Structure 1
Amino acid sequence: MTPASIGVAVIGAGMVGRAHANAYRNASTVFGALPPVRLAAIADVHEPFAADAARRYGFERAETDWRAVVDDPCIDAVSVAVANNLHREITEAALAAGKHVLCEKPLAPTVADAQAMVDAAAATDRVNAVGFTFRRSPALNAIREEVVSGRLGRVRHIAGNYWTDYGFDPQRPMSWRYQGGPGSGVLADIGSHLVDLAEFFCGPTTGVQGTAMTTLIETRPKPLGVAVGHAAGVRLSDERVPVENEDICTFTAAYEGDTLGTFSLSRVAYGHANTLRVDLFCENGSASFDMTRPAEFSIVDGTPAEPVNGARQVFIGPWHPYVARGLPMDFPTVGHGQNDFFVHQARAFLGQIAGDDALPPCPDMAHGLHNLQVLEAVVAATDKPVQL
């Protein structure tokens, strides 16, 4: 039964929380009609963030306690966009209260926590989803169509890099991102996306080996007050505390049909604010995507005559996935960015709630559990160094 309206709320008003808030505001403008979406509440323990996000994105009110959202019977759907260690408690409470839940990746800090969340979701009839937003990239979906159609053919080797520099400065303060054991650092934070994208192209991971992880900045200053987002600009104390997880991670993975994946992750890659790159080497050609140029991809195959064959740039247009009616100007070369992926994700999530299948459904929490199991395997595959 299609609901008369959908009341939505976002728990967490940091960087990704604002992306969810903006997405809900715009979701009903793309890919056909939805029931009216009511922007009900933004909750964040840091009141200035909650109030600012509610004002900016047109939500009715701001809250400083997530329970006020969960306990509100007029709210139907919730995005959980807070620190990873809070995902389980909030998600279980929201599901028990009858809410549809979209939880940010990684689903939980541990496999055991994720399994409990999957069990909680299975005990309800509510939509449950996990946020792997790069699955909504028009360019990545265009490449996937070339693979699935057979024009590029089966992937033989996928190489993925995700490099950021939010942790490069040793004066950036301690926050939840730097706490937790091995694997809870750059691997969980952004590596979860790369693991998911590899399976988007290659199918389930069948093995992991050759992991190397290191922590280059071993201590960070304690913040004076609340450290939010990536914590730039907060006042610092003179006390430094140990960093508990990894800054850099590399590993290899295997997929069915002898397909191999090689991956590199960093949160200390100076000058790379958000560099995600994927290269696919297939039976009949190759393709590449670089997040710094999100509205295009490169491809080389056997279509042109050999004297003029070579890699060519393809600009995304309305003939590619997610563009027609998915952008205000759905015209070739207009361009788009990562914020649009969140809009497409929110539209898919709300469509699932409304019984509309205009877009592929969001991955469910069982998929998020599987993702964590792969991350756990990556940590377990850490090599002992060989001294030469």
Structure 2
Amino acid sequence: MEKQLHIGIVGYKFMGRAHSNAWLKAPLFFDVPAQPILKVACGRHEPALKEFAQKWGWQETETDWKKLISRPDVDIVDIALPQHLHYDIAIAGARAGKHIFCEKPLAMTSQQAEEMLRVCEENNVKHYLNHNYRRTPAISLAKQMIQEGRLGRIYHWRCAYQQDWIVDPAFPLTWQLRKETAQAGPHWDLNSHCVDLAHFLVGEIATVTTLTTNFISERPLAEEASTGNLQAQSKGHEKGEVTVEDAALMLVQFKNGAIGSFEATRFATGRKNKLSFEIYGSNGSLSFDLEKMNELQFFSLEDREQEQGFRTILATEPTHPYMKSWWPPGHIIGYEHAFVHAAIDFITAITEDKAIEPNFDDGLRIIKVLEAGLASAETKQQVSISQPELILS
């Protein structure tokens, strides 16, 4: 009989849909070592939850995540929720022996992240943190090229994650704009992706210096049922305080001597979801833009001088990571496919009992950088990642 892995998902909005699609598509395109079974979906609002479950093929529904975790027929707990809800569910799931597939950022503090990692390790469960952009074929190719020495010694990292969905002052005060539910603004949410990619491609960060700012200090209160999406509705004229930053700029020095910059903002008018990075080394350079996610720009000093220049690599050939299971060369893939790649790798990690990255250890190291960034912005000093006494709680 084919091995099966039964999944219980907590959360059914944006990330719930993205994760459901990944579990469904994974065995359709890849040779999976175990069949993912969409067993039970969990959420607070039963009518919307049942509609979600019916549409995406979840066999059952549950409104209490503790009951989901206690079920013996659930092997994987998929946490597709905002970050302030990750800690309790991940801890309980790991103690119940469930493998944990968790959205980013990992937690609200490094203390939470440390405990989440410890409990998962003590209970010998697989833990995965869904920084899905690592599994974009072009970025996976960039990693291979760096490991092969094609860039030589890396000098510079430059990264920006730019969105514009809160430029309108009338946009309501959703959970992303409140410290108690988001911990910070784009520095926490968007920069978590950027720091993960920096760790993945360049190396560990040693020190940070950060500037944050607010452009709009108050917003209309949001309807509770609409706060999980970017088209949220305000519930009247009453306003509340924005308690996180609107934009952040961070300068870093890596342990290997490279230097880098990070920009995270939701006020980049006209930018919908632009994640871009540039890496400059002694032998060459790489450039990537998520809005052109199938392309990687590469410059090499090894080319003949008269032929040097940035060239575009279209990462759709079957020789590129993951691509042989999709379409013929030249047929591009999209945002949702990196989630499918994550699902495949997680299933493989469980069935073959091997580690997967990024995991909760990676998530902890990311949060330590983000916390150091907030401490730097508050103290207006450079902060070392190795100085926890300077990190804000």
Q: Given the two structures, how large is their TM-score scaled by the length of structure 1?
A: 0.92
Cα distance change, pair 77–385 in 1 and its aligned pair in 2 (3 A): closer
Between structures 1 and 2, the one with greater helix share:
2
Contact 2:283–2:302 (8 Å) recurs in 1: no
1:334 paired with 2:331, answer yes
- Count how many residue pairs are aligned between Structure 1 and Structure 2: 379
SS at match of 2:342: helix
| TM-superposed deviation, 1:166 | 2.3
1:87 paired with 2:86, answer yes
- Other-structure match for 2:303: 304
Q: 1:361 aligns with which of 356, 365, 368?
A: 356
SS at match of 2:54: helix
Residue by residue over 1:1-57, the C-alpha shift from the partner in whole angstroms, topping out at 9 and shown as x without a partner, is: x99310012111121121111111112234423222211122122334422332222
SS at match of 2:21: helix
Letter in 2 for 1:277: S
Letter in 2 for 1:378: G
Matches within 5 A, 1:1-388: 4-180=3-179, 184-209=184-209, 211-316=210-315, 317-325=317-325, 327=326, 329=327, 331-355=328-352, 361-382=356-377
Letter in 2 for 1:228: T
Unpaired runs of 5+ residues, structure 2, are 382-393
Residue by residue over 1:331-374, the C-alpha shift from the partner in whole angstroms, topping out at 9 and shown as x without a partner, is: 222111121001101111111111176xx823221221111111
Residue by residue over 1:311-348, the C-alpha shift from the partner in whole angstroms, topping out at 9 and shown as x without a partner, is: 111111211112112x2x1x222111121001101111
Contact 1:14–1:228 (8 Å) recurs in 2: no
Cα distance change, pair 183–60 in 1 and its aligned pair in 2 (3 A): closer
SS at match of 1:381: helix
Contact 2:171–2:234 (8 Å) recurs in 1: no
Letter in 2 for 1:349: F
Q: Distance in 1 between matches of 2:30 and 2:2?
A: 18
SS at match of 1:8: strand
SS at match of 2:253: strand
Cα distance change, pair 166–230 in 1 and its aligned pair in 2 (3 A): farther
Q: Distance in 1 between matches of 2:94 and 2:353?
A: 21
Q: Distance in 2 between matches of 1:129 and 1:36?
A: 18
Q: Distance in 1 between matches of 2:71 and 2:161?
A: 38
Letter in 1 for 2:195: V
SS at match of 2:225: coil
Letter in 2 for 1:262: S
Q: Distance in 2 between matches of 1:246 and 1:235?
A: 20
Q: Distance in 2 between matches of 1:174 and 1:32?
A: 44
Q: Distance in 2 between matches of 1:292 and 1:56?
A: 28
